[in-house]
């Protein structure tokens, strides 16, 4: 016992007397954190990195705490969202040097959001106990600030860990809370507290394993649906050229020719590269074939607003109906913030279809026969509450995307991981159709049942099951996690203020 205590004491002395050691640990822990996500999927690394981060935070200097929160975020985003470089350089026309500057600027500036956590950490009493709640507050803030960038949330790492049993109850923010709590329990391990700490860890992780194995919040119906998800593998460099319209359309028609008669066929985002008003004849023909064969075809197509601008939309034609406009747009990809200053400076600020407008927040669901579909276009699937609220009681989830912008980087794999979480949170099967990968069928527990290889044209055929019932997360969202965490932090803030009074 004395040896262990001496180790912690000596390590703390080194860290406190040499701030660069603590700063380096914070940066290192942030850089290790993305290894817990796809495609690496070393889920325990997320917990280990938080333990290292906690070690760096255990100092008395407020300035050091602020720097280390920031450095953790720099390391996390510097590695975890490096895929943005591909879209800027390869498809945005920026040189390696300029793309490097832009991605560096993004990482350094967005990491400033960590100051929200710093304010709470410094001002609450017993920061270690408060850390899990502070972590949730930071992720929640990042989910909506400046339209939100809910990437690299800790809960995603548990899709395949024993804690997966809590997903349908608590959602991704709740799993983030349990991740941070686990890290605190491990960091707090001392010989005199081993029994209590191990008991708490056992209850937490054993409870998750039990829920995953024994508890199901939704039940399968007798209805299975035959689906075909089409992956066209269209080159992004030529996709929006006028001369490519016919070639792209023929690609999708050819891949779909043998699929008529399936219950649902799904084409990816912007599969048709002319606007809806200009695509009338082909849409009529597709609807006719769908009616004749009993098939619902869901396809992505741009639309025009009467007053100007574009909409990223999806249609259900044939044995289905409905029109959906994308509500949450990608900054710089689909619209340009500060457009009057940035538009035209470089190619990246003038990408094709970067003049889009958001669709209305409340829209009717798409229908496939009698089935009610909750549809998300690309980036929308990363927003837990947006997906949860799209349709009150959906039969299936459908998401269409075009991850070609990110090449063979981390981005498409992380995107699929987040889509899996949406299926597990809400207890519904998901059909995911993309231009060049990763096209997949995901079950109600977030498990990929089938997928196509990336960068190849093809059709993913399979059956999905209609589920009934609702998960606790689908009923209540993230508020049962966010509100108690916010209340807990506020209580500690008030307590500290009272204790500081003369």
**Whether residue 269 lies in the annotated active site:** yes
Please tell me the distance from the alpha carbon of residue 131 to that of residue 93, in angstroms, as a whole number: 42
Cβ-based neighbours of 391, under 8 Å, separated by 6 or more = 365, 372, 373, 374
Do 206 and 238 fall into the same domain?
A: no
Residue 15 pLDDT class (50, 70, 90 cuts) = low
Confidence band for 2, pLDDT divided at 50, 70 and 90: very low
- Token couple for 322: 């409905």
Q: Are residues 240 and 175 in the same domain?
A: no
Query: Does the pLDDT value for residue 5 go beyond 70?
Result: no
In a domain? residue 474: no
**Closest C-alpha to 399, from 391, 223, 151, 172:** 391
Q: In this structure, is residue 303 part of a structural domain? A: yes
The pLDDT of 43-50, averaged and rounded, is 98
* Peptide bond preceding 438 in cis form (omega within 30 of 0): yes
How big is the CA angle at 13 (ends 12 and 17), to the nearest 5 degrees? 120
Distance between CA atoms of residues 244 and 248, nearest Å = 6
Q: Are residues 424 and 293 in the same domain?
A: yes
Active-site pick, 139, 239, 259, 269: 269
CA 458 to chain centre: 25
pLDDT tens digit sequence for 348-375: 555 556 667 888 999 999 999 999 999 9
Do residues 386 and 362 touch, judged by C-beta distance below 8 A?
no
Q: How confident is the model at residue 19 (pLDDT cuts 50, 70, 90)?
A: confident
pLDDT at 90 over 90: no
For residue 120, is pLDDT > 80? yes
How far is C-alpha 465 from the geometric centre of its chain's CA atoms? 24
The Cα–Cα gap between 305 and 275 comes to 10
Q: Are residues 163 and 252 part of one domain?
A: no
Residue 38 sits in the same domain as residue 139: yes
Section 266-287 average pLDDT: 95
Q: What is the pLDDT of residue 193?
A: 75
Determine the 3-state secondary structure of 7 from DSSP.
helix
Per-residue pLDDT averaged across 269-281, rounded? Answer: 94
Q: Specify whether 326 is catalytic.
A: yes
Q: What's the rounded Cα separation, in Å, for the pair 124 and 449?
A: 45
Residue 393 lies in a domain: yes
Q: Is 449 a residue whose pLDDT tops 60?
A: yes
51 shares a domain with 67: yes
DSSP line for 448-500: EEEEPPTTS-EEEEEEEEEEES--HHHHHTTHHHHHHHHHHHHHHHHHHHHHT
Mean pLDDT (whole number) for 287-305:
96
Q: 337 and 286: one domain?
A: yes
Q: Is the pLDDT of residue 17 over 70?
A: no
Q: Is residue 438 in a domain?
A: yes
Q: Is residue 481 part of a domain?
A: no
pLDDT at residue 127, as a whole number: 92
Q: What is the pLDDT of residue 340?
A: 53
Q: How far apart are CA 43 and CA 290, in angstroms?
A: 43
Residues 25 and 167 in one domain: yes
Looking at residues 171-193, what average pLDDT do you find?
A: 92
More confidently predicted of 353 and 242: 242
pLDDT of residue 345: 52
Is residue 430 a contact partner of residue 399, using CB atoms and an 8 Å limit?
Answer: yes
Least confident of 53-57, 119-123, 306-310: 306-310
Same domain, 492 and 427: no
The residue among 240 and 417 whose pLDDT is bigger is: 417
Separation between Cα atoms, residue 273 and residue 411, nearest integer Å: 23
CATH at residue 437 = 3.60.110.10
Asked if the structure places residue 68 within a domain, the reply is: yes
Contact 418, 382 (CB under 8 A): yes
Residues 236 and 120 in one domain: no
- The phi, psi pair for 253, rounded to 5°, reads -65, -40
Choice among 239, 378, 380, 425 that is catalytic: 378
**Tokens describing residue 22:** 């603590």
Same-domain check for residues 191 and 270: no
Q: Which of 122-131, 292-301, 364-373, 380-389 has the lowest mean pLDDT?
A: 122-131
CB neighbours of 285 closer than 8 A, spacing ≥ 6? none
Range(s) of the domain holding residue 438 = 219-469
pLDDT at 1: 42
359/312 Cα distance (integer angstroms): 8
Residue 183 has pLDDT above 80, yes or no: yes
Cβ neighbourhood burial of 3 (10 Å; 0-12, 13-18, 19+): exposed
| Residue 7 banded pLDDT, cuts 50, 70, 90 | very low
Mean pLDDT for the chain?
91
Q: Give the model's pLDDT for residue 343.
A: 53
> Given CA atoms 125, 127, 133, 137 in this order, what sign does their dihedral have?
positive
Question: Is residue 232 helix, strand or coil?
Answer: coil
| Active-site annotation holder among 239, 326, 334, 413 | 326
Residues 386 and 355 in one domain: yes
Domain count, the chain: 2
First-to-last alpha carbon distance for the chain, in angstroms, is 39
* Residue keyed to tokens 């769908």: 290
- Structure confidence at residue 301 (pLDDT): 97
Q: Average pLDDT in the 431-460 region? A: 97
Q: Lowest-confidence range among 167-171, 295-299, 357-361, 466-470?
A: 357-361
Answer whether residue 284 shows pLDDT above 70: yes
Give the percent of the chain with pLDDT over 70: 91
């Amino acid at each position: 016992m004395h040896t262990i205590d001496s180790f912690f004491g000596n390590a703390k002395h080194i860290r406190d007397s040499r701030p660069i050691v603590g700063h380096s640990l914070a940066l290192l822990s942030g850089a290790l954190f993305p290894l817990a996500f796809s495609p690496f999927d070393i889920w325990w690394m997320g917990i280990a990195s938080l333990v290292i981060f906690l070690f760096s935070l255990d100092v008395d200097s407020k300035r050091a705490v602020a720097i280390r929160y920031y450095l953790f975020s720099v390391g996390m985003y510097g590695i975890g969202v490096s895929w943005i470089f591909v879209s800027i350089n390869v498809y945005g026309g920026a040189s390696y040097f300029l793309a490097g500057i832009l991605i560096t600027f993004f990482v350094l500036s967005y990491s400033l959001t960590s100051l929200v956590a710093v304010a709470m950490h410094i001002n609450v009493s017993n920061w270690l106990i408060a850390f899990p709640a502070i972590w949730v507050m930071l992720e929640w803030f990042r989910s909506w600030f400046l339209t939100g960038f809910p990437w690299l949330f800790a809960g995603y790492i548990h899709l395949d860990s024993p804690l997966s049993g809590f997903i349908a109850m608590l959602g991704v923010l709740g799993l983030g809370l349990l991740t941070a709590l686990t890290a605190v329990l491990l960091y707090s391990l001392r010989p005199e507290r081993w029994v209590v700490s191990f008991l708490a860890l056992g209850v937490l992780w054993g409870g998750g394993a039990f829920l995953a194995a024994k508890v199901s919040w939704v039940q399968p119906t007798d209805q299975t649906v035959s689906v075909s998800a089409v992956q066209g593998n269209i080159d992004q460099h030529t996709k929006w050229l006028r001369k490519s319209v016919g070639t792209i359309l023929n690609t999708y028609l050819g891949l779909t020719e043998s699929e008529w008669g399936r219950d649902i066929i799904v084409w990816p985002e912007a599969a048709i590269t002319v606007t809806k008003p200009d695509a009338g004849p082909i849409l009529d023909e597709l609807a006719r074939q769908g009616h004749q064969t009993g098939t619902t075809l869901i396809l992505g197509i741009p639309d025009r607003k009467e007053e100007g601008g574009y909409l990223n939309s999806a249609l259900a034609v044939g044995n289905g109906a409905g029109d959906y406009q994308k509500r949450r747009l990608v900054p710089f990809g689909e619209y340009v913030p500060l457009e009057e200053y940035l538009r035209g400076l470089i190619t990246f600020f003038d990408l094709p279809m970067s003049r889009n407008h958001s669709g209305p927040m409340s829209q009717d669901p798409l229908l496939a026969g009698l089935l009610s579909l909750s549809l998300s276009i690309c980036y929308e699937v990363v927003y837990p509450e947006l997906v949860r609220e799209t349709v009150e009681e959906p039969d299936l989830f459908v998401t269409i995307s075009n991850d070609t912008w990110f090449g063979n980087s981390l981005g498409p794999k992380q995107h699929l991981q987040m889509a899996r979480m949406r299926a597990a949170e809400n207890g519904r099967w998901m059909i995911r159709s993309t231009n060049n990968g990763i096209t997949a069928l995901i079950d109600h527990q977030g498990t990929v049942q089938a997928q196509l290889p990336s960068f190849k044209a093809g059709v993913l055929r399979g059956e999905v099951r209609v589920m009934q019932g609702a998960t606790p997360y689908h009923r209540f969202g993230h508020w049962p996690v966010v509100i108690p965490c916010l209340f807990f932090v506020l209580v500690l803030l008030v307590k500290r203020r009272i204790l500081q009074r003369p």
